[in-house]
Amino acid sequence: MRRPISWSALTSASVGLWGLGVEGLASLQRLQSMGIEPVLVDDKVASDALHGLPVLRMDDGGLTALLSCDVVIKSPGISRYRPEVDVLERAGVPVCGGLGLWLEDTDRQRVVCITGTKGKSTTSMLVCHLLSGLGYRARVGGNIGQPPWALSDEAAPDYWIIETSSFQVPDLTVAPPVVVVTSLSPDHLDWHGSVERYYADKLSLCTKPGVETALVPADDQLLRQQLGDVPTVQWVDRDQFGRSWIDHLGLPGSHNARNASLARAALVALGIDEAGDEAALARAAEGFSGLESRCHSIGHVGGVDFVDDGLSTNVLSVAAALEAYESRPVALLVGGSDRGIDYSMLGEAVRGRQERTLVVTMPDNGPRIGQAVRDVTDNVEVIDAPDLEAAVTAAFRWCDGDGVVLLSPGAPSFGHFADYRDRGRAFVDAAATCGTLVDEIS
């Protein structure tokens, strides 16, 4: 176990910041507000200076500079298994994350951490929406939303809901009493190095010091296999709290019923009395708009609906999206940055559909996904497209006036788009070329 360090303990320390994304910038502002001018290091330097401080490349003096620091705060996207991390820690320089520093300082009774391969974003937003609807001040942070240690003029919320990625969990030395694991399937193998280490890193959230209750879906067999003997685990059945209130959320698919059940279980574990009141929960559920790029309808052209599920970057989430539209023909758009995961399960999900299905692949790893589908079934048409626009055009023509063009890529957008939002905007633009896109949700 690494030595616990908190933000408040850094007052007189020399600090290095490694990685200058969203979390890195929040950490920089926090440190400068404390009177600390950190050493800034990035793998790719975008500018000569940031907030008046020089930025070093890791491979051009950065590692040497970090070795002179008392502590290094790294961004989550930087793997804990990088050789430079080992060099730093062997030299006695602890390497930590901003979220871990914050959890050491904060009142963890007012925090819930939510992780999972699929469903963690939706479940986090559901917990926040329900708490807000019940009259509490709630805020989502962590892997989405605002880093909870970022400087802000807003009043502190009653509850923080922290979406916690597998990149962040290994850096935590403590966790709150209530944590949630929504699902598990292979992902992020490039960061973790193996599927076994990915599972171990993500699920270690359930056994961090401070955890009293780890809420886990009862129907996930892989999670049962991995967590069956963990004493903190409480298995959540999607029907144990009743389901009538879930209809007020307006979310498609049985996977979202499971997410909603986990969200309610989190409220119960937090001691929210109103979580036991079905009518109050139904009122609180009203108005949930869902997540951008998570089974998000952008409009339709004639009888063809266009659905942006661009946040889907793994097999499990693509399979869930297909299930959500099981009663309609679906043209599925897949492909993006290759992280080496096995897509054979997607072939099984496609083969199991009753309605007709087309798989349209896009660079970079789309052809590999398509081959995984072909290896499992020869009853589904798979075609390769050179880019997103061509994929949308082919999918729309195949639908022939009836069906769903579903962007559920099963891979990140790196290399072709700035992020999932950029890919989502490109999807909207491509859909608009197919005709007059109506009922668009802005």
Burial of 378 (0-12, 13-18, 19+ CB in 10 A): exposed
Inside any domain, residue 437: no
Q: What is the pTM of this model?
A: 0.82
Inside any domain, residue 116: yes
Inside any domain, residue 133: yes
Inside any domain, residue 438: no
- Supply the pLDDT for residue 250: 85
Residues 169 and 147 reside in one and the same domain: yes
Residues 83 and 114 reside in one and the same domain: no
pLDDT truncated to tens, each residue of the chain (442 aa)?
A: 456 799 999 999 999 999 998 899 999 999 999 999 999 999 887 567 788 899 999 999 999 999 999 999 999 999 999 999 999 999 999 999 999 999 999 999 999 999 999 899 999 999 999 999 999 999 999 988 889 999 998 999 999 999 999 999 999 999 999 999 999 998 888 999 999 999 999 999 999 999 999 999 999 999 999 999 999 999 999 766 567 899 999 887 788 899 999 999 999 999 999 999 999 999 999 999 777 778 888 999 999 999 999 988 889 889 989 988 999 999 999 999 988 888 998 999 999 999 999 999 999 999 999 999 999 988 899 999 999 999 999 999 999 999 999 999 999 888 889 888 899 999 999 999 999 888 644 3
CATH number, residue 176: 3.40.1190.10
Sheet of 296-301, strands arranged across: 296-301, 304-308, 403-407, 330-334, 357-361, 381-384
Inside any domain, residue 439: no
CATH number, residue 401: 3.90.190.20
Residues 120 and 196 reside in one and the same domain: yes
Domain end, chosen from 285, 315, 336, is at 285
CATH number, residue 26: 3.40.50.720
Residues 132 and 85 reside in one and the same domain: no
- Supply the pLDDT for residue 441: 41
Domain span holding position 340: 296-432
Residues 42 and 118 reside in one and the same domain: no
Inside any domain, residue 2: no
Residues 254 and 133 reside in one and the same domain: yes
Residues 164 and 267 reside in one and the same domain: yes
Domain end, chosen from 57, 80, 96, is at 96
Inside any domain, residue 440: no
Report angle CA 265, 270, 276 to the nearest 5 degrees.
55
Residues 346 and 408 reside in one and the same domain: yes
Residues 249 and 118 reside in one and the same domain: yes
Residues 267 and 143 reside in one and the same domain: yes
Number of domains in the chain: 3
Residues 122 and 215 reside in one and the same domain: yes
Domain end, chosen from 248, 266, 285, is at 285
Inside any domain, residue 205: yes
- Supply the pLDDT for residue 92: 96
- Supply the pLDDT for residue 442: 35
Residues 132 and 275 reside in one and the same domain: yes
- Supply the pLDDT for residue 255: 84
